[in-house]
Amino acid sequence: MNIEVVCADITYLEVDAIVNAANTSLLGGGGVDGAIHRAAGPRLLAECRTLGGCPTGEARITGGYDLPARFVIHTVGPVWRGGHKNEEALLASCYRNSLELAAASGVSSIAFPFISTGVYRFPIARASRIALREVAAFLATHPEMHVTIACFSDQDRATYSQALHVLTN
Ligand code: APR
């Protein structure tokens, strides 16, 4: 299956598109959002301003500007509120909508951060299972897409790799 789990700063990855864990304003923030805007430069924010925001669970695409990636796909993950506010379904739709938007935009390689598991406090083990389930379902009908999961810590990579092992065995 075309899934690779790496420990990397997503802003350095030479893929067609990197996914940003944004907020509904799409006007930047901390975490990976801040890192992507810093690396892409001010033209990214200028384009984001034209988009009028993005609802949780949906995705929007922009240019990559000063990034190695041609595109940035901005998606807004759910804030974890205990698991009874549709958080799992919203996180799943972040991955599904980002992948569908990537395929519709001619993207053949995409890298995801660990959406919602930082500031938004989504439990990491649950998030990795949801992410890999959605990516695997998409790859079943789009085998040409290459997906990289860019973890920012060895612990996150271990969690993802364990979930990937369970999924593929
Ligand atoms: N490369 C890859 N992963 C990164 C990077 C980076 N440069 N920087 C942070 N991460 C990881 C974090 O370690 C975490 O695993 O991205 C994951 C997502 O964490 P956040 O960036 O905090 O995103 P999220 O939890 O979805 O919260 C989104 O935070 O930054 C604000 O504007 C953003 O309001 C939004 C909220």
- Minimum CA distance residue for ligand 1 atom 12: 118
Give Cβ neighbours of residue 104 (< 8 Å, ≥ 6 apart).
none
Q: What is the helix (H) or strand (E) element at residue 65, kind and residue range?
A: none
Question: Which residue out of 9, 16, 33, 156 is catalytically annotated?
Answer: 33
9 noted as active-site residue: no
Whether the Cβ atoms of residue 11 and residue 21 lie closer than 8 Å to each other = no
Chain centroid to Cα 109, Å, comes to 12
- 93 CB near ligand 1 (under 6 Å): no
Whether the Cβ atoms of residue 101 and residue 73 lie closer than 8 Å to each other = yes
In tens digits, the chain (169 residues) has pLDDT values of 789 999 999 999 999 999 999 999 999 999 999 999 999 999 999 999 999 999 999 999 999 999 999 999 999 999 999 999 999 999 999 999 999 999 999 999 999 999 999 999 999 999 999 999 999 999 999 999 999 999 999 889 888 888 888 887 8
Site to probe by mutation for ligand 1, drawn from 11, 32, 33, 80 as the one with most ligand atoms within 8 Å of Cβ, is: 32
- Minimum CA distance residue for ligand 1 atom 13: 152
What is the CA(105)–ligand 1 centre distance, in A?
A: 24
Q: d(Cα 85, Cα 4) in Å, to the nearest integer?
A: 30
Pairing of strands 3-7, 59-63: unpaired
Global pTM reads: 0.97
